[in-house]
Structure 1
Amino acid sequence: MINNLDGVDWSSMGHAYGPADEVPLWLEQMASPDPDVRERAFGDFYGSAHHQGDVYSCTAGSLPFLLALADDPQTPDRAAVIRLLLSIGGAALDCDLDGVYYSPSGHASTPHADVVPQMRQRAEDFVRHRG
């Protein structure tokens, strides 16, 4: 799944600071064997794609890749990926699912409504990962 990152039009999505062009690199780096690279990637993702706990279009677009990392026993820091997923899911659940929010650029945004069903569908996996 992580190899399919190029199949997503990340530049059409946004995060707290503009187009989400950097997101695929951060997702790749979350699987790096180098702990410093992983730490930077998680920091960059939290700082832009999940800035202050918000859910952006690129956050929702990242879910399939983050879920694949969480499922892969070879992922070096699966616990950090799962914490990130839980944070994204919790933030999306805190939103009014029928509500329209606005991105920093002023565009109507509803990525939280895309996140919740995906997370609910995978709820049992999180219980499995916990064990």
Structure 2
Amino acid sequence: MMINEIDSVDWESMGHAYGPASDVPGWLRGMASADPGVRDEAFSDFYSAAHHQGDVYPCTAASLPFLFEMAASPATPDRGSVIELLLSIGRASLDKDPEGVYAAVDGTESRAHVDALAVMGGRAEAFVRWVRDPDLLVRRPTIKL
């Protein structure tokens, strides 16, 4: 399971809207929690920092494989919300200039939107599967495409 590899990512070397991204693994784990309160807080924190105002940071792009794994697993309690987050990241990435280089929070150059689109494009078939998922809460966000 890929979520077990979450600690092998150098999150500390990446930033989000409020500083180092060392808190991202906890948010990702929280999104898969059986506790609805923990899930809500994890999604809120991720949107607030790692996808702040629709921005795409290196940590946002690095989160994508884990988000795809969660969305694909029937064991994930709120797959629809994970899919909504994936779609939001994809839309934000598409809205940026594909040739553009943006300044990350720490002032370094970032092309995280391009990295995100590469991951998304490589997993486009997942969205087709989710459109046909028997669970309405999984299909609904995907159909909004």
Structure 1 residue runs of 4 or more that deviate by more than 4 Å after TM superposition: none
Shift of 1:122: 1.5
Q: How does 1:51-90 map to 2 (within 5 A)?
A: 51-90=52-91
Residue type of the alignment partner of 1:116: L
Structure 1 position 43, deviation (Å): 0.1
TM superposition shift of 1:97: 1.2
Equivalent AA in structure 1 for residue 15 of structure 2: G
Which moves more between the two structures, 107-116 or 35-44?
107-116
Q: Which residue of 1 aligns with 2:13?
A: 12
User: Residues 18-74 of structure 1: CA distance to partner in whole angstroms, max 9, x if unpaired?
Assistant: 100000000001000000000000000000000000000100010110010011110
1:65-98: per-residue Cα shift (whole Å, max 9, x none)? 0010011110000000000000001100111111
- TM (norm. structure 2) is 0.88
Superposed displacement of residue 104, structure 1: 2.5
Give the letter for the 1:84 counterpart.
Answer: L
Aligned residue in 2 for 1:33: 34
Mean Cα deviation higher: 20-29 or 114-123: 114-123
Q: TM-score, normalised by structure 1?
A: 0.97
Provide the secondary structure at the position in 2 that maps to 1:22. Answer: helix
Give me the whole-angstrom Cα distance separating, in 1, the residues matched to 2:107 and 2:16: 12
Equivalent residue number for residue 3 of structure 2: 2
Q: For structure 2, which runs of at least 5 residues remain unmatched after alignment?
A: 133-145
Q: How far did residue 105 of structure 1 move?
A: 2.5
What value does the CA root-mean-square deviation take over the aligned residues?
Answer: 0.8
Gaps of 5+ in 1: none
- The alignment partner of 1:58 has SS state of helix
Moved more, 46-55 or 95-104: 95-104
Identity, in percent, stands at 61
| 1:101 corresponds to | 102
